[in-house]
Chain A
Amino acid sequence: MHKLLLSTSVGILALFGAGVANAADELLELQKNPKDWVLPTGDYANLRYSKLKQITTENVAKLAPAWSFSTGVLRGHEGAPLVIGDVMYLHTPFPNIVYALDLNNEGKILWKYEPKQDPSVVPVMCCDTVNRGLAYGDGKIFLAQADTTLVALDAKSGKLVWSVKNGDPSKGATSTAAPHVMKDKVFVGIAGGEFGVRGSITAYHIKDGSLAWRGYSEGPDSEVLLDPEKTTYLGKPVGKDSSLKTWEGDQWQIGGGTTWGWYSYDPELNLVYYGSGNPSTWNPKQRPGDNRWSMTIWARDLDTGVAKWVYQMTPHDEWDYDGINEMILANQTIGGAARKTLVHFDRNGFGYTLDRVTGELLVAEKYDPAVNWASKVDMDKSSPTYGRPLVVSKYSTEQNGEDVNSKGVCPAALGSKDMQPASFSPDTGLFYVPTNHVCMDYEPFRVSYTAGQPYVGATLEMFPPPGDSHMGNFIAWDARVGKIVWSNKEQFSVWSGTVTTSGGLAFYGTLEGYLKAVDVKTGKELYKYKTPSGIIGNVMTYEHKGKQYVAVLSGVGGWAGIGLAAGLSKSNEGLGAVGGYKALSDYTALGGVLTVFSLPDYALPIVAPAN
């Protein structure tokens, strides 16, 4: 095995060769190579854009499966594999197996790592035992296990190098997100907002797994890592105890704000970006105040963890609109000025564009016209409610109160988009966003907290928006102005991450199991193929031996699998005879397969011979 690896490409030699430079240089260089997919997010900026262009709008119709691999697990399969040189690294849901597959040998297993975990972690994983993938850096593959153990494996052998425990599953803390390597640190989040877990982001030193810093989402400034004078919120210092002041008593200790999304990094600013989730419980009456800093976009210094700026999107959440979705660091020209922007499609249905240097709010518009819980985000800088959503009373579960069913709130708790990451194309300047088109009735009620037990406190029912029978859209979004450019209807929520390519294509998967390719300019569907199970994984692309490949995990599950498997509650109402909505289980069953596509040899573009 050793010999095999070393005898492969130059890329691998550079990777595993002696005297590897520090991780920062290594990853910055590696992610520039479009043949590889070295980060779970594609690159630090989370653009999910590939410069590969062998597969184009002209030839994509001839795309075909090249090979496939069964993971051996039947659960929701989120995330995507990594490709580094001649090796693909693939993860699974619990029990979180890691495979290293030899791309020179039709995906032969080079090594396999299966951690031993107490299965009692399974039932404290809200919404399926998903895992969103691996990270690479410093010659190691990093896995964040369900039980919150972060392990570093030798990329060559799969041998354990170090491991560290990040949280306590007996109190409901679990890990579902991919770890992220940035510069010389490995970052992990925590899940468990439905169990009253206090959210945090933790940075470990890549060499030995020792703790660099941990920043909580709520609590004292010293633990949230806020500087009352220097950390800003909409351009002004947050002041002392900015989190503590917005909670009643010590509720912040079980306050949620978990951190299970995708992280991004701007090396020039040395800032790490991510979002925090819903405050616990789902019953807003039980936790008065703005509940800072749940539902917040964070910009933290990579080395110290201290926040440069924060922006809370949904103060005092009343609908479970977790703010964890990815932050896409695209540079755009807005109003004639070049800006370093951050674009974020929140669960709450607003697409936000911020200046990522300062945290200034530039654009906040609805990216699904169905969104109704707020009329708009107040953009008037002189207004006392500047930057806050203007909540519509009718849809306010706080104002309607406990034991009252607030009806017709859009979006549903799963958001206009969940964690499935969007992508950006510098060729069009647009964002490609997988969305949910689902509304809900939401009734909060009193619950008591028991460590390690669900701490939910609301019941909800979901259904398509009035007059519609489809529950998803795949949209192109102009984040400079906050407008939908085109929108493709999908019968079910689009729960897969997308990738855009220099070939003029955007790829995504559907819950029925289709891999689809559309023209980035028009949205025209150019290719589809039904994989073995519903897709909640992210599409990725890489090149090997002169051929471009597109890969995606199928394996239905996650919250989509739980909420939609048997159909939505009111799905049969108000749709008329034509709109007969069917349960997802009528289309697909459990699975766990990676399908890898390429152009057949006869369809490869003809390359002019060199002189």
Chain B
Amino acid sequence: MRLPLVGALALSVFMGLGTTVRAEPPGDPTAVKEVDGKWFDAKGDPTYKIQADGAVDWYTFSGYRRYHSECHVCHGPNAEGSTYAPALKNSLKNFDYAEFVGIVIGGRENKQAGNDSVMPAFAENKNAMCYIDDLYIYIRARSTEAVGRGRPEKKAEKPAAFGEAETKCMSAK
């Protein structure tokens, strides 16, 4: 498992399910640092990096794919919401990386009259947890419209470090 996941698991112990901790907005998404093809903002949270020619970093692309496998059946295509679950491109404007990870791990329930919704805990789901940063980066890019609807047309090459981490995480017991 990669480091961010370990951190996230520790975090979830504090946050638990259905947390009401006062959320911090994600802050400035500008990428300031790169480690093996993955970009980070000034706070050290994962973020996207779009080149002048429109090419997205690999993690944004990977997040796009995983989002449209794990998340879109509830949250709708392109993180734009559905009749069933909120638009994550909007939700993500209200809380930061740490809370995002906490919600994915622990799940959440929202009760509204006649319209209860329940998000499952994804802690055991490798298809989500091995790509948690990818998902965050993609939705973050959607939340600022840095990436449009649909599949990113151009993308960076898959970093070697990504492939290694993916194999390790997906085959971990």
Contact = CB atoms under 8 A, between A and B. Distances in A.
Interface string A61-90: 000000000001111100000000000000
B87 to A, nearest CB: 7
Interface residues of A, number: 48
B73 interface: yes
A453 B124 contact: yes
Contacts of A455: 127
A563 B127 contact: no
A445 B125 contact: no
A119 B118 CA distance: 7
B77 interface: yes
Nearest to A441: B151
A461 B151 contact: yes
B155 to A, nearest CB: 12
A173 B67 CA distance: 22
Contacts of B170: 446, 448
Given A445-B69, A450-B125, A459-B64, 5 more contacts: A127-B84, A456-B69, A459-B69, A461-B77, A557-B83
Contact of A565 (B82, B109, B116): B82
Given A72-B114, A448-B126, A450-B126, A457 B69 contact: yes
17 contacts: A76-B83, A119-B116, A127-B84, A129-B84, A447-B127, A448-B127, A450-B124, A450-B126, A450-B127, A452-B124, A459-B65, A460-B68, A556-B83, A562-B72, A563-B77, A565-B76, A566-B77
B124 to A, nearest CB: 5
A432 B42 CA distance: 60
B151 A123 contact: no
Interface string B55-77: 00000000011111110111011
Which 7 pairs show the lowest CB-CB distances between chains A and B? Answer: A561-B83, A566-B80, A459-B68, A123-B120, A562-B82, A453-B125, A122-B118
B40 interface: no
A570 B73 contact: no
B78 interface: yes
A566 B118 contact: no
A210 to B, nearest CB: 33
A124 B120 contact: yes
A471 to B, nearest CB: 14
Contacts of B82: 561-563, 565-566
Contact of A123 (B64, B67, B83, B107): B107
Contacts of A72: 114
A565 B69 contact: no
A359 B64 CA distance: 43
B81 interface: yes
A460 B76 CA distance: 11
Nearest to B77: A569
Interface string B86-112: 010000000000000000000101000
Nearest to B117: A122
A274 B125 CA distance: 32
B77 A123 contact: no
A126 interface: yes
Contacts of A129: 84
A562 B109 CA distance: 19
A602 B67 CA distance: 56
A306 to B, nearest CB: 35
Contacts of A227: none
Nearest to A445: B65
Interface in A431-472: 441, 443, 445-448, 450, 452-462
A590 interface: yes
Given A123-B107, A570-B150, A557 B70 contact: no
Nearest to A589: B83
Main SS at interface, chain A: loop
Contacts of B118: 119-120, 122-123
Contacts of A459: 64-69, 72, 151
Contact of B74 (A123, A457, A567, A569): A123
A219 B161 CA distance: 40
B116 A563 contact: no
Contacts of A592: 114
A447 B125 CA distance: 10
Nearest to B69: A456
A221 interface: no
Contacts of A127: 73, 84
A128 interface: yes
Nearest to B158: A403
A405 interface: yes
B115 interface: yes
A568 interface: yes
A112 to B, nearest CB: 15
A567 B109 CA distance: 26
B74 A562 contact: yes
Nearest to B75: A562
Contacts of A461: 68, 77, 150-151
A563 B83 CA distance: 9
B162 interface: no
B41 to A, nearest CB: 26
Nearest to A592: B114
Contacts of B69: 282, 445, 447, 454, 456-459
B75 to A, nearest CB: 8
A567 B70 CA distance: 19
Nearest to A460: B68
A562 B69 CA distance: 13
Contacts of A561: 82-84
Nearest to A459: B68
A72 B115 CA distance: 9
B84 A120 contact: no
Contacts of B72: 459, 562
B142 to A, nearest CB: 11
Contacts of B76: 562-563, 565-566
B165 interface: no
